[in-house]
Structure 1
Amino acid sequence: MSSPPSPSPTRWFKALRRTRLGEPCLKTNALETVELLKRARAAFQAGRTLKESFRLAQLEAILRMLTEHECDFVDALGRDLHKPRFETVLSELMPVKNEALYAINNLRKWMEPQRVEKNLATTLDDSLVVSEPLGVVLVVGAWYSPAQLCLVPLVGAIAAGNCAILNPSEHCSHTAELLHRLVPSYLDNECFHVILAGVTDLAEVVEMKFDHVFFTGNREDGIRVAQAAAPLLTPVTLVLSGKNPCYVDQQCDINTTARRIAWARFQNAGQSMVAPDYVLCHEEAKSRLFQALRCCMLQFYGTDPRESSSFGRMVNLENFNRTRDLLLRSGKAAVGGQSNEAEKYIAPTVLMEVVASDPIMQQDVLGPVLPILTVCSVDEAIAFINQREKPLCVYAYSSNSKVISRLMSETSSGSFCSNDSILQSLMVVLPSGGVGSSGMGSYHGRYSFDTFSHKKPCLLRSTRIECVTYLRYPPFEERNLSLMTWASSLSQRSQGWCQIL
């Protein structure tokens, strides 16, 4: 593999911006990043990551890191996002632990060559697909779930036998610092590194030439990453935020529906790329849904959510101002709507009387605001969804299986879940990723292993049947062509083999 290009003298990586004044600035300059990349590439080329025992040891180290420093992660995420311990453990740490455990339990099977069915022409040969690691990969995390969105892809990269460089989000500075400190203490110091770069610097990082870039974040930054990777032919996985629709049918358990939607929309103060972004509610269920939402929000957060220990805050003033602006210029706040700039607090809010042209329907909602629109039928809901960009998730709540089936089959999205929200994105046995404008590629479990692997087809032939294969050699004769055509043609019941004698 060629060495990464030398960095040009630019201003990037001068320092991470801090959300609190008076804190020391961390910085990773270009030369340091290039040096880390060289060390990782040298380790990979030396075959350091290839053995199953090495991969298992690194995966077990991640488990130890999360277990031994659970309190540190709770503290860091509490400082960055005012995230309750309950949410940190369940939505940040447990998904990573489950990914690591699943990889440990299945790694040997994943690493085995996949043998394909033989045909007459390959009876004496071996046809198999070998999973080989890509090399040195870059994992760029997002601030919505700053630990999970860095470490879950890292598990897949390690399982597949790669070296990796992590770039946690600058907006969650305490979590980024923690990863910067802990990863070198637990994982191999030559193979795995953490850099601290801002989103404006990502293009220049990508141009250093990695073997794969895994990015989670918004579409604008994802486009810049893809554009920087394209001239180098660097493959990318993009998991991008989007406007996730949630259809509520008139036939549903309205109280359970309200609880599950409210939990998904307002956990982490609404800062989630997989939460329901807006509700398309059947007109016959609208008033019942609103009353149920109001009741369960009171149960969740009390009369003043600002005082609740179960409700978070905006990550920074930029997202606070953006969310508050969308709230004030769209629909009518039927529940909530209060805000406090000093605390970066926006109350969990339900917006009624929202129309498709409102500003909040034109941008992703990354805050505790739930717009509700009314539709007259499932047909109208499907049409509404299909008139827009393909979302990362589609949710549907109904006790009518035909309604669920229609939403699942007649819309396109990165994932689909009926009668609940978010859970499909946390399951290690299901792929997670986008489609169209919501991203490309997938991860979780075996899908992560495959994302960070090259599937190399291998045909191991023998020289013992040259008495047959001579038919393909010049000088060409019509009789030989007939025999070759017969041997190479596929029948209707063929398994897809192309016989080359």
Structure 2
Amino acid sequence: MNISDHINAQQAYFNSQITKPIPFRKEVLLRLKKTIEKYEPDIEDALWNDLRKSKFESYIAETGFVLTELNRTLKNLKKWATPKKEKTPLFLFGSKSHLQYEPYGITLILSPWNYPFQLLFAPLIGTVAAGNCAILKPSPASTHTTIISKKIIEEVFDPRHVLLIEADNRETNLILQQRFDYIFYTGGVEYGKRVMEAASKHLTPVTLELGGKSPCIVDKDANIDIAARRIVWGKFLNCGQTCVAPDYVFVHQEIKENLILKLKEEIIRQYGENPQESPDYPRIIHSGRFYNLMLLLKQGKIEIGGKYDEQDLYIAPTLISGITPENRIMNEEIFGPILPIMTFDNRETVINYINSQEKPLALYYFGKNKKNIQDVLGKTSSGGACINDVVSHLANPNLPFGGVGYSGMGHYHGIDSFYTFSHTRSVLTTSTRINPGLKFSPFAGKLPILKRFMK
């Protein structure tokens, strides 16, 4: 079957109404949960082979994340999907209003290679919970994870409900020419533009989860020990290949040297004197990304790291000082284990710099002064933010995750995944027992009464 045939088969399946009842949705989600649990060792092996992720990192950022999302959805789906009553104004006397959540239909989910399990299955949970059918297209770069993901999908779902298709970039372009009812894309900005352009031809709604350069500000009153530990963890998680990783640090001039010292100590504490031997330090996904990152190592002063092994796709956790906004490293998303450090004396200078760039997916601030915290939050814009932490806002299922501007549009996780993949339908039900004549012509003498009601 070609892609058109698959879409037609899913459309017929969706039109049969089988995906809409809540018991059906919960049944397949429960089956998905049990199947993921069954294949958890295989998922760990796949993530190790693709990115050399440890079992701990694979669970906290991939498998465990998805299972938490499944548990929360299974527990709350009936409540989320229940129609919600809304108030009705007096001038519509005799009517009742409610909101009803209905699925879009056939969704396309395009997922990336950096978190190849989480970023495929997390949006899938939302679209199935909302009652849709789905076609999944994972990245061709994370081949081992795709193999086990496909096995899980085929074991859990009827292909007329959910289908995983392997495709390269050319084939993905052909898929995007088809008409879908919703497209969910996670990846880079440039391809995100192509997704949105393709969607526009059919007026298809989209969610774009992109990226950008997420700033990290360390003010002079920050707890430096805590800041260093959390920045090192968040930056070098998945070898820096995280869309919300701190992309660069602005540190107050008074504490620059101390912070760099503490960051060095933390790198050694977390990954050892030789991170290449650490079982907890992942690798670059492929040689293309490796060589791109190597070019960024030629700028500024390397404070620690800088070592690499081409055959192993290894680049050490690296800190670079002496960087200015004009350097190339400050003009593209790094997406790797390289952290440039710049200094500031005046917080307004940092705020102005951030506001002169595209809006980031995340913003991080370390400091104790509440007024300064509110100043930074109030004068900047980002998809999400953490105060005295990094990355961890993703772990709260009560917080929606998404970007703004060039870092994306739309959001998901938890109830927001259900809302993202549901059309909110407004329904007004009017009684036939009474028939108020205010809204019907002739209108003579009715305007003063209408104004009074509508106020």
1:106-145 aligned at under 5 Å gives the runs 106-145=76-115
Partner of 1:164: 134
> Please, which of 308, 311, 316 is the counterpart of residue 278 of structure 2?
308
Q: Which amino acid aligns with 1:386?
A: N
Determine helix, strand or coil for the equivalent of 1:165.
Answer: strand
1:288-299 aligned at under 5 Å gives the runs 288-299=258-269
> Please, which of 403, 420, 434 is the counterpart of residue 403 of structure 2?
434
Aligned length: 455
> Please, which of 196, 205, 221 is the counterpart of residue 235 of structure 1?
205
Partner of 2:144: 174
- Structure 1-normalised TM-score? 0.89
Are the aligned partners of 1:206 and 1:213 in contact in 2 as well (CA < 8 Å)? no
After superposing the two structures, state which structure 1 stretch, 211-220 or 106-115, moved more.
Answer: 106-115
Kindly indicate whether residue 439 of structure 2 is the aligned counterpart of residue 472 of structure 1. Answer: yes
Determine helix, strand or coil for the equivalent of 1:457.
Answer: strand
Distance 1:123 1:68 in 2: 56
Distance 1:255 1:476 in 2: 73
1:328-343 aligned at under 5 Å gives the runs 328=298, 330-343=299-312
Q: Which amino acid aligns with 2:176?
A: V
Kindly indicate whether residue 426 of structure 2 is the aligned counterpart of residue 457 of structure 1. Answer: yes
Partner of 1:495: none
Partner of 2:354: 385
Partner of 2:160: 190
Q: Which amino acid aligns with 2:448?
A: S
Partner of 1:481: 447
1:159-178 alpha-carbon deviations (Å, 9 max, x no partner): 11111111111110111111
Partner of 2:9: 39
Q: Which amino acid aligns with 1:224?
A: R
Distance 1:135 1:481 in 2: 43
Deviation at 1:426, TM superposition (A): 2.3
1:32-71 aligned at under 5 Å gives the runs 32-71=2-41
Are the aligned partners of 2:234 and 2:390 in contact in 1 as well (CA < 8 Å)? yes
Partner of 1:420: 389
Q: Which amino acid aligns with 1:326?
A: L
Distance 1:484 1:281 in 2: 60
Determine helix, strand or coil for the equivalent of 1:342.
Answer: coil
Q: Which amino acid aligns with 1:229?
A: A
Partner of 1:19: none
Kindly indicate whether residue 369 of structure 2 is the aligned counterpart of residue 400 of structure 1. Answer: yes
1:206-251 alpha-carbon deviations (Å, 9 max, x no partner): 2211100000000001001000110110110001010000000111
- Structure 2-normalised TM-score? 0.97
Distance 2:190 2:307 in 1: 29
Deviation at 1:123, TM superposition (A): 4.5
- RMSD after superposition: 1.3
Distance 1:339 1:71 in 2: 29
Are the aligned partners of 1:252 and 1:398 in contact in 2 as well (CA < 8 Å)? yes
1:459-495 alpha-carbon deviations (Å, 9 max, x no partner): 00112222x22x3333442x123333333x32xxxxx
Identify if the C-alpha distance between structure 1 residues 106 and 279 changes in structure 2 by more than 3 Å, giving closer, same or farther. same
Partner of 2:224: 254
Determine helix, strand or coil for the equivalent of 1:59.
Answer: helix
Partner of 1:99: 69
After superposing the two structures, state which structure 1 stretch, 431-440 or 36-45, moved more.
Answer: 36-45
Are the aligned partners of 1:144 and 1:271 in contact in 2 as well (CA < 8 Å)? yes
Q: Which amino acid aligns with 1:450?
A: Y
Distance 2:152 2:2 in 1: 18
Are the aligned partners of 2:87 and 2:96 in contact in 1 as well (CA < 8 Å)? no
Are the aligned partners of 2:242 and 2:335 in contact in 1 as well (CA < 8 Å)? yes
Deviation at 1:47, TM superposition (A): 0.5
Are the aligned partners of 2:284 and 2:336 in contact in 1 as well (CA < 8 Å)? yes
Partner of 1:285: 255
Deviation at 1:199, TM superposition (A): 3.4
Partner of 2:339: 370
Are the aligned partners of 1:63 and 1:100 in contact in 2 as well (CA < 8 Å)? yes
Q: Which amino acid aligns with 2:403?
A: G
1:412-446 alpha-carbon deviations (Å, 9 max, x no partner): 00001111111112221100000011110000111
Are the aligned partners of 1:335 and 1:350 in contact in 2 as well (CA < 8 Å)? yes
1:118-137 alpha-carbon deviations (Å, 9 max, x no partner): 33334432201110000010
> Please, which of 44, 47, 53 is the counterpart of residue 77 of structure 1?
47
Distance 1:481 1:319 in 2: 68
Distance 1:373 1:199 in 2: 37
Are the aligned partners of 1:199 and 1:221 in contact in 2 as well (CA < 8 Å)? no
Are the aligned partners of 2:36 and 2:152 in contact in 1 as well (CA < 8 Å)? no
Distance 1:459 1:413 in 2: 37
Partner of 2:178: 208
Distance 1:222 1:472 in 2: 47
Are the aligned partners of 2:91 and 2:450 in contact in 1 as well (CA < 8 Å)? no
Give the unaligned 5+ runs of structure 1. Answer: 1-30, 491-501
Q: Flag as ranges the 4+ runs of structure 1 deviating above 6 A.
A: none
Give the unaligned 5+ runs of structure 2. Answer: none
